[in-house]
Every structure is written in C-alpha cells, then in structure tokens.
C-alpha cells in the first residue's frame, strides 16, 4: 500500500469568509466550497478550511508548508499588508535545524510554519 496524500482540516475560527480570503491572498487556490468547508491547494499542498471555532484547538494546531524561499514568502505577505488587513501575525525569518522558516499565526490562531 502507498500513502497518496495528507489533507488536514484547518479551523477557520469565527471569521470563516475572511479566512477564505486570507488563504487566497497567501497564494492558495479555492478549489471548492460547500458552505462549511472549503478545499484549498497550491503546488500539491492541500488543506480543507473548516468552519470551526475552538480557540484552544486552533492555538495548539500547527502546520508546516515547504516554500521555495522563506524571505520571498515573508516579503510577499508584508507587501500585501496581510497583517494589517487580516490581523494575522508574522515572525522574522529564522534558521531552524530543518531549514529557514517564517511563521504566521492566522485568523483562528493556527501557527503555519513556512519552511525553505
């Protein structure tokens, strides 16, 4: 048997529609939307945004996404003024044992590790 993919369900927090907009601004395509769940993808990285608002869960949920350049990704987020527009937090690029990384805390409180 071969595993083919991993598609996590990511909580949206209380602002489902705004979260959908944020992920599109981050570069993910909205592939489908069924009202309470929406499928996103970019370059083989996929997830399902779920209309789910449990702060304790979101605050303890993390995802890692490989990117070509952590600096370019961070620059894009700042150029689009996504922290101001969506109230997200973005960290500095840091060197970790597994690569260069920039973290985003999304609208719900999920920590996304964008790793080069």
pLDDT at 5: 92
pTM of the model: 0.94
Instruction: Give pLDDT, residue 20.
Output: 98
Residue spans of the chain under pLDDT 50: none
| pLDDT for position 53 | 98
Q: Tell me the domains of the chain and their CATH numbers.
A: 9-115 (3.10.180.10)
Full DSSP string of 35-82: SSEEEEEETTEEEEEE----HHHHTT-EEEEE-S-HHHHHHHHHHTTH
Which residues partner with 33 through β-bridges? 38
Residue bearing tokens 């399902």: 48
């Amino acid at each position: 048997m071969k595993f083919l993919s991993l598609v996590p369900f990511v909580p949206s927090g209380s602002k489902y529609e705004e979260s959908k907009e944020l992920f599109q601004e981050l570069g993910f395509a909205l592939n489908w939307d069924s009202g309470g769940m929406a499928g996103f993808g970019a370059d083989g990285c996929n997830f399902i945004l779920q209309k789910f608002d449990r702060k304790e869960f979101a605050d303890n949920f993390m995802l890692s996404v490989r990117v070509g350049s952590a600096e370019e990704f961070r620059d894009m987020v700042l150029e689009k003024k996504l922290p101001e527009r969506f109230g997200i937090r973005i960290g500095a690029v840091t060197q970790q044992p597994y690569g260069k990384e920039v973290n985003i805390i999304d609208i719900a409180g999920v920590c996304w590790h964008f790793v080069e």
